[in-house]
């Protein structure tokens, strides 16, 4: 597996564009288009929130009913959620405009929106944006990077990942981009994430690979415990790698799943590490749990604890809060048996053992916690299952950003 530069334009046949449509932000690109020059098989996972944004409902229909998808049009600034019938109509208008501009069918156009809930989209600006985007489509790294920048909201940096593998003697590429920052606690999916690949795979296996992989990647991150109304993860596969079509779970499938997993995990970690106001990526790695489900529950409980997140922000080895978060996760265990370590590129120390503090140096703990990526390693000593979850610290800036996000 070769890690390469780029994102949604890394795989063969994929083009992208970004444009300044003036939807809500001033003086920045706020629309992106991803397009494959041949039709794609599409798979998606979407928010489990009962309150689903109009584009989420639109995409669910397209992924389920359309045999082929070929374009994804994305806007940042306004979420098109809680917008009633008008919100649905705007999705239809956006798809029709995109289809006209690209000479494809409206039901092969996927749509994603992110931003303020409850505001109506300025639809004239949006359709004008679509027409600009269609003319700007281009391949190559720069086009992908511009698209990744255009979908950002409170993100401080754009997020891309790509990887290359060999399947059936052919070079297969998987690349993607995403945006996150706030309202990040995906359930059955993620924020906005778009993965493109030239692999040749059946629609059923593409969906299955995606649905399985999100359980260990996008569903294992959290910034603030809030599951968005707009979470969308889409994969488009155009088959241009010309590998023998993957139609069963053979070695080719496994290689593709590994490549997809790499891209998904990288994108998910980038979202967690760039959570609103975050100064550090905070990872919880639970090992030797009795079941995988318990390992996941424990890991997520640690990275979602507000008190633990505030302590990470303060570089304070307040391990009692980690123990506390493990304790209320809803998993039974003996606190006297488990071990807790803190780890980063600055080192690794044992913090807790035999039901009480281990003999560690506070200075060393603070040094470890002062890195930009920090891991709490929890050894449950119960079995062989493990899981990792990713979050971030809780800072003043999280409050600042969210106390007046609308204004």
Residues marked active site are found at 190
Distance in angstroms (rounded) separating the CA atoms of residues 309 and 314: 9
Determine, following the binding rule CB under 8 A, whether residue 233 of this chain makes contact with a copy of itself: no
CB of residue 233 vs a copy of itself: minimum separation in angstroms? 16
Distance in angstroms (rounded) separating the CA atoms of residues 349 and 74: 44
Output 22 or 320, the one with its CB closest to a copy of itself: 320
Under rule CB under 8 A, how many of the chain's residues touch a copy of itself?
70
Of 158-177, binders to a copy of itself (CB under 8 A) are: none
Assign 138 to helix, strand or coil. strand
Residue with tokens 């690209």: 102
Distance in angstroms (rounded) separating the CA atoms of residues 261 and 234: 14
Determine, following the binding rule CB under 8 A, whether residue 402 of this chain makes contact with a copy of itself: yes
Determine, following the binding rule CB under 8 A, whether residue 354 of this chain makes contact with a copy of itself: yes
CB 235 within 8 A of CB 59: no
Length, in residues, of the chain:
407
Q: Percent helix, strand, coil in the chain (nearest 5)?
A: 35, 30, 35
Determine, following the binding rule CB under 8 A, whether residue 51 of this chain makes contact with a copy of itself: yes
CB of residue 336 vs a copy of itself: minimum separation in angstroms? 7
Determine, following the binding rule CB under 8 A, whether residue 198 of this chain makes contact with a copy of itself: no
The token pair at 88 is 């649905």
Output 184 or 255, the one with its CB closest to a copy of itself: 184
Q: Strands 281-289, 14-19: parallel, antiparallel or unpaired by DSSP?
A: unpaired
186: nearest Cα among 80, 45, 386, 374: 45
Determine, following the binding rule CB under 8 A, whether residue 185 of this chain makes contact with a copy of itself: yes
Output 243 or 308, the one with its CB closest to a copy of itself: 308
Determine, following the binding rule CB under 8 A, whether residue 333 of this chain makes contact with a copy of itself: yes
CB 179 within 8 A of CB 113: no
Give the H or E element holding residue 375.
strand 373-379
CB of residue 102 vs a copy of itself: minimum separation in angstroms? 30
Question: In sequence order, which residues have a C-beta less than 8 Å from that of residue 407 and are 6 or more positions away?
Answer: none
Determine, following the binding rule CB under 8 A, whether residue 314 of this chain makes contact with a copy of itself: yes
The one among 28, 131, 249, 406 contacting a copy of itself by CB under 8 A: 406
CA dihedral 312, 318, 320, 321 (to 10 degrees): -30
Output 256 or 398, the one with its CB closest to a copy of itself: 398
Determine, following the binding rule CB under 8 A, whether residue 311 of this chain makes contact with a copy of itself: yes
Give the H or E element holding residue 311.
helix 306-313
CA distances from 17 to 41, 179, 247 (A): 21, 16, 32
Output 12 or 300, the one with its CB closest to a copy of itself: 300
Determine, following the binding rule CB under 8 A, whether residue 89 of this chain makes contact with a copy of itself: no
Which sign, positive or negative, has the C-alpha torsion 343, 348, 353, 359?
A: negative
The one among 4, 57, 307, 346 contacting a copy of itself by CB under 8 A: 307
311: nearest Cα among 387, 360, 362, 380: 362
Give the H or E element holding residue 256.
helix 251-273
The one among 15, 21, 35, 49 contacting a copy of itself by CB under 8 A: 49
Stretch that binds a copy of itself, among 158-166, 205-213, 247-255, 333-341 (CB under 8 A): 333-341
CB of residue 77 vs a copy of itself: minimum separation in angstroms? 14
Stretch that binds a copy of itself, among 138-146, 168-176, 280-288, 303-311 (CB under 8 A): 303-311
CB of residue 295 vs a copy of itself: minimum separation in angstroms? 15
Determine, following the binding rule CB under 8 A, whether residue 359 of this chain makes contact with a copy of itself: no
Distance in angstroms (rounded) separating the CA atoms of residues 185 and 305: 12
CB 177 within 8 A of CB 190: no
Determine, following the binding rule CB under 8 A, whether residue 313 of this chain makes contact with a copy of itself: yes
Determine, following the binding rule CB under 8 A, whether residue 360 of this chain makes contact with a copy of itself: no
The token pair at 206 is 């593409």
Determine, following the binding rule CB under 8 A, whether residue 57 of this chain makes contact with a copy of itself: no
Determine, following the binding rule CB under 8 A, whether residue 229 of this chain makes contact with a copy of itself: yes
Determine, following the binding rule CB under 8 A, whether residue 81 of this chain makes contact with a copy of itself: yes
- List residues binding a copy of itself (CB under 8 A): 47-52, 79, 81-87, 116-118, 182-183, 185, 187, 224-229, 304-307, 310-311, 313-314, 316, 318-321, 323-329, 331-333, 335-336, 352, 354-357, 394-396, 398-407
């Amino acid at each position: 597996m070769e890690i390469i530069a780029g994102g949604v334009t890394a795989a063969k046949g994929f083009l992208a564009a970004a444009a300044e449509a003036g939807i809500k932000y001033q003086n920045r690109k706020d629309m992106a288009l991803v397009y494959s020059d041949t039709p794609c098989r599409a798979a998606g996972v979407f928010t489990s929130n009962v309150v689903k944004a109009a584009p989420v409902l639109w995409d669910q229909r397209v992924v389920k009913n359309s045999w082929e998808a070929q374009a994804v049009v994305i806007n940042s600034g306004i979420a098109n959620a809680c917008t009633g019938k008008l919100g649905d109509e705007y999705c239809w208008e956006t798809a029709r405009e995109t289809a006209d501009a690209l000479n494809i069918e409206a039901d092969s156009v996927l749509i994603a929106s992110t931003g303020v809930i409850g505001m109506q989209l300025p639809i004239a600006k949006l359709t004008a944006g679509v027409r600009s985007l269609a003319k700007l489509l281009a391949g190559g790294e720069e086009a992908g990077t511009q698209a990744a920048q255009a979908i950002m909201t409170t993100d401080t940096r754009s997020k891309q990942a790509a990887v290359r593998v060999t399947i059936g003697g052919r070079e297969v590429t998987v690349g993607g981009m995403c945006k996150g920052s706030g309202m990040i606690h995906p359930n059955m999916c993620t924020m906005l994430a778009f993965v493109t690949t030239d692999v040749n795979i059946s629609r059923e296996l593409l969906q299955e690979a995606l649905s399985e992989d999100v359980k260990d990647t996008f569903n294992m991150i959290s910034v603030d415990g809030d599951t968005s109304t707009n979470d969308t993860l889409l994969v488009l596969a155009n088959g241009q790698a010309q590998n023998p079509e993957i139609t069963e779970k053979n070695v080719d499938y496994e290689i593709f799943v590994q490549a997809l997993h790499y891209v998904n995990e990288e994108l998910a970690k980038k979202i967690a590490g760039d959570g609103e106001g975050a100064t550090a990526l905070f990872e919880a790695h639970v090992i030797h749990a009795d079941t995988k489900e318990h390992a996941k529950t424990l890991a997520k409980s640690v990275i979602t604890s507000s008190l633990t997140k505030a302590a990470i922000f303060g570089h304070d080895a307040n391990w009692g809060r980690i123990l506390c978060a493990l304790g209320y996760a809803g998993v039974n265990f003996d606190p006297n048996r488990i071990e807790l370590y803190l780890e980063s590129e600055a080192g690794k120390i044992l913090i807790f053992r035999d039901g009480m503090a281990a003999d560690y140096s506070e200075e060393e703990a603070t040094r470890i916690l002062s890195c930009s990526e920090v891991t709490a390693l929890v050894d449950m000593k119960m079995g062989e299952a493990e899981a990792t979850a990713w979050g971030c610290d809780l800072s003043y800036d999280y409050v600042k950003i969210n106390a007046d996000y609308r204004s």
